[in-house]
Structure 1
Amino acid sequence: MQETSPESQETLRESRVATFPVSLIVIDGRRTVRARTVAKLLHAPGFSLLAAVDAVAGVPALSPTLFRGAPIVALLDISVADPDCLAGCNALRATLPQLRIIITGMTVMHEDVAAYVHAGATGFIMQSASPSQFVETVRHVANDEPSLPRALTMSLFSQIRSHAAPVAGLSPADQARLTKRERQIIGLLREGMSNKEIADRLYIAVHTVKRHVHNILEKLSLHSRLEVAAHARTPGERP
């Protein structure tokens, strides 16, 4: 069986992504890198350049009617000395909510991935990526499909797991029904804390604790805080 070359594999991956007109905005403070990014993309059929600017503030005002035609994708570079690219991403999304945003850069700090997703980014790509990888990423994002390099995927999952703070003894289905704060309170109920003690520990009002406990009971179909504590015990743990 004939092996496929890396170049052919890239062409095959690109062909699997729907080809349709895409308008581009490239934001990078370095003129040469900005030109290189534009060159990587404009070789692909159907791509057109709306603007190439050195900062978010330079993005032109766009009429909402533009978004009824070709998707508009902005590539925002974060590897240069912009002190607050995250704020820039937020500003782009607030000003142009229909805009699809891809974060580019030499490196993307792993701890920043989730923050940029919350700010509205739906794609990430390294500046070292090949032209085919750039094109594939832009087309996925233009088609409302998030795109994340493999190197950052595990980072994002790790962050989600760390923020989830699972409670031992609860099933995955139960974990999914509960907020992070509700899981914290279940952990403290297991320690036998009163509402007042929980409020003091978490620096929240007692009535807020009562509301959370009520929501926990509703979500887990239980009737008392003692049942919550028992429900969350690990197998074999003695009451």
Structure 2
Amino acid sequence: MAQSKPGGVQSVTRALDILEAIDAAGGEQALIEIAAASGLPTPTIHRLVRTLVDRGYLRQLPDRRYALGSRLIPLGSSALTAFGSRSTPELRRLVGELGETANLATLDGDQVVYVGQVPSPHAMRMFTDLGRHVHAHPRATGKALLSQLSDDQVRAVLRRAGMPAFTSRTITSPEELLAQLAVVRERGWAVDEGELEDGVVCLAVPVPSTTALLAVSISGPAVRVDERVRARAVPLLAQVAADLATQLDVASA
């Protein structure tokens, strides 16, 4: 359990401990599991949980377990949108160095949602609708995001979302995607070569934040995103991802 900072309110800290414990457990827990994870006395947990349920931050399931509530969704969405706006200088840095569209994305439920973008100056360029929810499996950003989950969590996401084919290159086998995610975890970056759209390449890197699940990427036509550009892009993406993580984690400290 996190220790309260000087001047902090203990009840607020404890309520946040409960939300974080449930989140870390995959989104739902029984009261006894919350007690074990948070280290708080059961009567204290019960009072806090009832308040969180009343405010919509938790909901009680039919089996009496507790799950994260819908009130958290707009808050998380607003926070990510605000951070997406603040990430613009870093994304511009990528576009200035590489000349291709730069994106910031997160995983919302079982799908990728883009929260930040700076377009390429080229007439032929990639666009992604901010706020739109899309499948993770055919995208480099999706792979970079999924690589931050366990294999069991990835299987659950794929089972719920499905793996439709978008091109002849789209990976539609969970085991094949899991094998590719193992490579992403090892080398630190993901690629989509025509898996979403023929002739388009996307490179993505996970943002190594302890407070948010994010990935940063560039995308462009395969004729421009050649091996020379890729060799330059990966370290730049990694640096931008590290800088964004620092901004996030400092802001939450």
**TM-score w.r.t. length of structure 1:** 0.27
Q: Which has the higher strand share?
A: 2
Q: Which has the higher helix share?
A: 1
| The structure with more radius of gyration | 1
